[in-house]
Amino acid sequence: MDKIKVGIIGTGYVGLVSGACFANLGYETICLDVNENKINMINNGISPIYEHNLDELLNKVVLKEKLLYATNSRKKLVIDCDVIFICLPTPSNANGSIDLSFILNELKEIGSILKTCKNYKTIVIKSTVIPGSTMNNFLNTIEKFSSKRLGDDFGLIVNPEFLMEGSALNNFNNPDRIIIGYHDHRSKDIITSLYNSFNCPIIYVTFDEAEMIKYVSNSFLATKISFINEIANLSENFNINMDHIVEGVGLDQRISPNFFRSGLGFGGSCFPKDVNALYSLSKQYDSELTMLKATLSINDIQPLRAIDILTDIIDVTDKKVTILGLSFKPNTDDIREAPSLKIAKELHRLGSDIYAYDPIYVNKKINNYDYIKISNNYQDAIKNSYAVIIVTEWDEFKSLNSDDFEFMTHKLVIDGRRILDPKLFDNSLVRLITIGNSKNHQLN
Ligand code: UDX
């Protein structure tokens, strides 16, 4: 039997990472995008997105092995490929529900092409979609536009991703588990053969279960973060260092220290969107997930903890305040829902003169935040500042010590991600305040 040919629709960090990794497993892979610039970059072995090691991998599979190419021809992809992954955006609507229109429009187009296809094609939903989307919306769209039947003429699978930005290639190649939502055995067997080189558990469930597993995973992780952030906020009133709490609690195998770092809250393109979507769904079914409501409200205000500490000590109006780290997490250029933007917006409201430095956001402007003056290095960003807030835990900031803040006008440093060593600030003129550490300690 010929080797399966893989189609990827949508070349964002899920689609392009998945496509490059399938190609790296030896599968001929075609990526579809509507953006000509992205298509050209990919076909030159260059990643349009910033993801660790993706450029090197694309160079290998596109230029050397010629196993992957990008196109804008949906027809060619559908006709040539056996398994077609849908990796399109599912953005939030204003009320927090998700917008499935990108996927529905794509499935209409694919359905119309399937109408004239003789070969069996398996369509795989990899985008994060709320429970019920595939069974209630996607299946009947494909059948309607293709005049074909699931199982007899085409296959349909739900295969959610668990990729973390900054480590997406590793997450793809070494998953904790593979989730396969299926309805017919032919598709199940085809998708199983595609993943046959993986040695993790493969869990076979219904469409709805596969969709729900993704949301419950992200919602639980986000809730774990909001929980430890609230504990950290309370702990500041006691003689407590949060690292010791996380160590002592995290040694319980049932809890673990993972995803238990208190700080300025979670951001990114997934956690806020996914938790909002599941919460919004729960209200439609009169089963409101009140815990997720709390997860979201805690996370909305957590970044402003840094501002509260700051304004308790100095008046920031017309003062230079520095933000170190703009991306929502290290090793990515993604600033979607980043805590840094919430902090900048509040500082702007208070009339501060805002400077920032981020290892990736050099010589760039951020749309709708042109009041943020972005420096080319952290030294310039810090100089003559009244306060510095560490917002993203980039490695570059972890070794900072009191000398690095020597040229501040007022020497106040707020460590929002608990990465600085307080001992390096003892007996210095710099006042270091660490989110989640006892205020008592911080009065030195
Ligand atoms: C997340 C999920 O981890 C991944 O499984 C899913 O497929 C996509 O969404 P990602 O958003 O890329 O991945 O980043 P992640 O590393 O999960 O961090 C999300 C946010 O939580 C970041 O803002 C990070 O700073 C914050 N975080 C993470 C904490 O505040 N504390 C922690 O202990 C861990």
* Whole-number pLDDT of residue 13: 87
State whether the beta carbon of 13 lies less than 6 angstroms from ligand 1.
no
* Whole-number pLDDT of residue 286: 87
Q: Of 426, 378, 423, whose CA–CA distance to 404 is shortest?
A: 378
Judge residue 320's burial from the number of C-beta atoms within 10 Å of its C-beta, 0-12 exposed, 13-18 middle, 19 or more buried: buried
State whether the beta carbon of 106 lies less than 6 angstroms from ligand 1.
no
State whether the beta carbon of 164 lies less than 6 angstroms from ligand 1.
yes
Ligand 1 atom, smallest distance to 339 CA: 23
What's the mean pLDDT in 165-175? 96
What's the mean pLDDT in 104-123? 97
* Whole-number pLDDT of residue 440: 56
Helices (H) and strands (E) in the chain, counts: 17, 14
* Whole-number pLDDT of residue 362: 80
Span from the CA of 218 to the centroid of ligand 1 (angstroms): 9
For residue 387, the cross-strand partners are 321, 412
State whether the beta carbon of 274 lies less than 6 angstroms from ligand 1.
no
Decide: 311 and 350 in contact? Cβ < 8 Å.
yes
- The residue ranking higher by pLDDT, 151 or 13, is 151
What's the mean pLDDT in 182-189? 96
d(CA 159, CA 185): 15
* Whole-number pLDDT of residue 365: 82
| Residue with CA nearest ligand 1 atom 13 | 164
Decide: 243 and 418 in contact? Cβ < 8 Å.
yes
- ∠ Cα 338 341 296 (to 5°): 55
Which of the 8 DSSP states describes residue 134?
Answer: I
Span from the CA of 213 to the centroid of ligand 1 (angstroms): 17
Measured between alpha carbons, how far is residue 247 from residues 134, 231, 250, 302 in Å?
Answer: 41, 14, 5, 22
Decide: 226 and 303 in contact? Cβ < 8 Å.
no
Decide: 14 and 161 in contact? Cβ < 8 Å.
yes
Decide: 10 and 50 in contact? Cβ < 8 Å.
no
pLDDT per residue as tens digits for the range 40-53: 999 999 999 999 99
What's the mean pLDDT in 186-207? 97
Ligand 1 atom, smallest distance to 260 CA: 33
Residue 442: pLDDT over 60:
no
CB-based contacts of 282, cutoff 8 Å, min separation 6: 288, 289, 292
Ligand 1 atom, smallest distance to 163 CA: 7
Amino acid (one-letter) located at 151: G
State whether the beta carbon of 162 lies less than 6 angstroms from ligand 1.
yes
d(CA 176, CA 171): 8
Q: Of 222, 210, 209, 225, whose CA–CA distance to 273 is shortest?
A: 222
* Whole-number pLDDT of residue 361: 85
Place of tokens 């349909």: 156
* Whole-number pLDDT of residue 436: 86
Span from the CA of 91 to the centroid of ligand 1 (angstroms): 18
Span from the CA of 126 to the centroid of ligand 1 (angstroms): 18
* Whole-number pLDDT of residue 1: 61
pLDDT per residue as tens digits for the range 153-164: 999 999 999 999
Q: How confident is the model at residue 363 (pLDDT cuts 50, 70, 90)?
A: confident
* Whole-number pLDDT of residue 2: 77
CB-based contacts of 53, cutoff 8 Å, min separation 6: 169
State whether the beta carbon of 155 lies less than 6 angstroms from ligand 1.
no
- Per the prediction, the chain carries an average pLDDT of 95
State whether the beta carbon of 272 lies less than 6 angstroms from ligand 1.
no
| Residue with CA nearest ligand 1 atom 28 | 259
Residue 441: pLDDT over 60:
no
* Whole-number pLDDT of residue 444: 39
Which helix (H) or strand (E) segment is 185 a member of?
Answer: helix 185-194
Q: For a pLDDT cut of 70, what percent of the chain falls above it? A: 99
CB-based contacts of 356, cutoff 8 Å, min separation 6: 322, 323, 324, 326, 340, 344, 372, 373, 374, 375, 381
d(CA 44, CA 49): 14
Residue 242: pLDDT over 60:
yes
Q: How confident is the model at residue 443 (pLDDT cuts 50, 70, 90)?
A: very low
State whether the beta carbon of 161 lies less than 6 angstroms from ligand 1.
yes
Residue 186: pLDDT over 90:
yes
Q: Within 10 A of 263 (CB to CB), how many other CB atoms are there?
A: 27
Choice from 164, 220, 274, 390 to test ligand 1 binding pocket (greatest atom count within 8 A of CB): 164
Whether 21 is catalytic is no
Which helix (H) or strand (E) segment is 397 a member of?
Answer: helix 395-398
Which of the 8 DSSP states describes residue 2?
Answer: P
* Whole-number pLDDT of residue 116: 94
